[in-house]
Amino acid sequence: MSNFYESDYKADNMTVSRVEIDLGNPNEIYKYLTSKVAFQDEYCRDAAMILWKHIKAQYGGVYFVTGPSGCGKTYVWESIKKVYPNIIICDASSITANGWTGNNKVTSFTDFMDPDDSNYIVVFDESDKLFQPRFDRGGANVSADISSEFLKLVDGMKIQGRGGASFDTSKMTFIFCGSFGTKAEEISEAESSTGFGFGQKSEKHVAYERKLTIQDLIDAGVIRELASRAIRICHVRPLSLDDYIHLLKDHTGSPVKLLEQKKGVKLNVSEDCIRRIANNAYKNGLGVRNCVKQLESMIDDQVFESFRCNGIEPEEISL
């Protein structure tokens, strides 16, 4: 099986070349992902195998993805969606149990599915916020109720979607992404004798000194029956300061290059600017998306000044 993904845009004329990728070869998927996501080789390998198994076997599975915010947990699946459209990414933090107020339910993702196709990978982003125990006035754990609904989903069931369409969840793969930061903090404080990571209160950088286990997920609120269904817990590692600097300067998925593509402008970013952006993102523990936000803010300021002084949008910006 083959598909295509888009290579980098040319900033001068915004033309796009096409590159073929063989989705029947997990190593080819892996190489594609590592060109998009920096310093997460293990996670890219895991994601490549998940996609390959899903396509090849046409059956589902359950996976958890843990790690600090802004380091690629969801971006990997956004990148995969460009070559395999049957990916649905849901905001799990806003899901409410059946019988409770709210339009976003466990099965709402079917609204975005092809009525004639049940073969999807469904990614529940921010799922740690969903699993974290929440209690109603009567003392019942509402989060556990939602987890029980997920358990039925992953075990295989028929869902009636909009317009009467029927979907078989046994053909779906389910990914639960989340930082599980509270549990990671507990582990770091309990196991670190150096004060690194969460133990270092003056720094928000998340250490994640070891990978989370099934028991850690259960301690974080995932019901035991659902946690036990996991085929693998994929780990996204935190980025070091040097990682951020390299990502901004040299990686093919650099936020600088991506913003050049998006805005159609040539960006000249100084070494001092790169180090300042990298240092802010690292110290705040806000991840790669924070680097993008910092750059966008600087670019907006420069664009406004160009219009104010010259009345035109700049073709080149120096930061």
**Which residue ranges make up each domain of the chain?**
2-235, 241-318
Tell which CATH classification among 1.10.10, 3.30.2220, 2.60.120, 1.10.8 matches the domain 241-318. 1.10.8
Q: What is the mean pLDDT of residues 216-223?
A: 89
**Which pLDDT belongs to residue 200?**
43
Residue 176: strand pairing partners: 64, 124
What is the tens place of the pLDDT at every residue in 49-72? Answer: 999 999 988 667 999 999 888 788
User: Which has the higher per-residue pLDDT, 40 or 132?
Assistant: 40
Which helix (H) or strand (E) segment is 48 a member of?
A: helix 41-57
Indicate whether this model's pTM tops 0.85: no
Is the predicted pLDDT of residue 121 greater than 50, yes or no?
yes
Q: What is the mean pLDDT of residues 106-110?
A: 85
Class of the CATH domain delimited by 2-235: alpha beta
Share of the chain above pLDDT 70, in %: 83
Binned at pLDDT 50, 70 and 90, residue 191 comes out as low
Same topology, domains 2-235 and 241-318? Answer is no
